[in-house]
A and B are shown apart, each in its own frame.
Chain A
Amino acid sequence: MSDIILKTENLTKHYGGVHALVDANFEMKKGEHVAIMGDNGAGKSTFVRQITGVEQRTSGKVWLYGDEVNFAGPLDAREAGIETVFQTLALADDLDVPDNLFLGREKTKFDWLGPFRFLDYKAMRQATMEGLERTGVKIPNIRNTIQNMSGGQRQCVAIARTATFASRLTIMDEPTAALGVQETAQVENIIRTLKKAGEPLILVSHNMRQVFDLVDRIVVFRRGRICANLDIKNGDHTGEDVVSYITGAKTGAEFEDAL
């Protein structure tokens, strides 16, 4: 097995006439943290949705840890070890915080009962408190339903969900967009912990400071295509640099044909 844990080849997605993602060739190595940046509507979340099996791609191929994968749905992706914080958060509004945190992989008792096995509410509540504390969010009553949570609280629940389970690849789509100053700092700490543990991460973010603080490499999307691949570990690139790729003032040498 090579070092490449995720690779896409000509990954493409059309929605009717909208070409949201075109010929994306993307690679990332073990332990690497990569940021995806780009304008609104540039195709970042579309890219995430194709990798995680939420949607079926129009064309192209995807490899995970060297194996070609064709996820029929998000369940497959999760089983293959991909943990994702979606931009839409994917929370069930009528359920409370622990229910959402453990949705799809509840802690249970009497497992021989199959689908009718019992929920271990107590254990889940406890684990929820711990998970939430890592994000620094304050939620007065975790037994309130998600629909009653503030924007930032919702986002923290989604992040805590991902951070609670070990994974082979973590993807976060704008995880701190709705977070306050403190909570953002905490979530960034979670990301640093992942880095230390050698767990790879894809971070979609519009926050230049955050990206420069956290990741090794920035991939820029523009109009549905990848237009730059910038290694930022050695300080070759500044924030303004990245902005000019985002806006189209510059294009990465190897991508010029594409655009």
Chain B
Amino acid sequence: QEIGATFSRFDDNWLTVLRNGMVEHAATIDGLSYQQEDAADDLAKQIDQVKNFVASGVDAIIVNIVDTSAGAAVSAAAGDTPLVYVNREPDNVNELPATQAFVASNEIESGTLSAFEICKNLRADGKGAGARGYLMNGQLSNQAAVQRSKDVHDVIGMDMCNFMTIIDEQTANWSRDEAQDLMTNWMSSGEPFDFVLANNDEMAIGAIQAMKAAGMDMADVQVGGVDASQDALLSMAAGDYDVTVFQDSVGQGTGSIDAALRLIAGEKVDQKVYIPFKLVTPANMGDFLDKN
């Protein structure tokens, strides 16, 4: 069998973990030829890649969709060829034809878990009367970023956490380096703050590096992110990083390939599979060390 996969971008940290996991998993399956393409965050290119796969006659297609609101167009491009969405939930999830399925996570969980845990920690630190902090957005055009930031605002909107105030929120484009500069810029105003929430681990790490370079004590600041990458967990182990959220690459990756194989074989599959996010704190980080 032949499976073609297209990813929203190749040079993204977490997606690379997912992607490489899928290559490994595919290699263990006899007679499977597995091919992956980079959509470079270009929706039209991704639609065309799907069409290219069809023109080459692959047996199934796996899509990590660039834009979750483009489900209809992507689904249509595949025609009769079986298709599985991975990691991101397309908006047409309820209208998928029988030849299509999805295995993904729900981004409402990720940002909420992280922000809520920070809220609890701040209270525990005795800052329940008022805490101020910063929010770092991922790429502004990315829906995971938009959703995770919205999650943060929703958490702060809850009675229990409305003691938290966002001083400013800005994008650092998922990137550690930009996060360093952004954090340093924020700190140069001299304004005191109690927490930093980031849409992913890389930015949280960048913020931590900048704060440490400025001589801050990381015990005084709560830092939260998403992904549970290895760099993040080691930072947590060092006592710098407080909260992250585990996104299950193996679950999503193997799940999607297996679903594709079953679709090819004409078997019945669960059309919607949600792989849950899991909260990671210093208390349980040991469980996740070699996962992502």
Find out whether A and B make contact in their complex, taking CB atoms under 8 A apart as touching.
no
Which residues of B pack against A, CB within 8 Å? none
Query: Which A residues have a C-beta under 8 Å from some C-beta of B?
Result: none
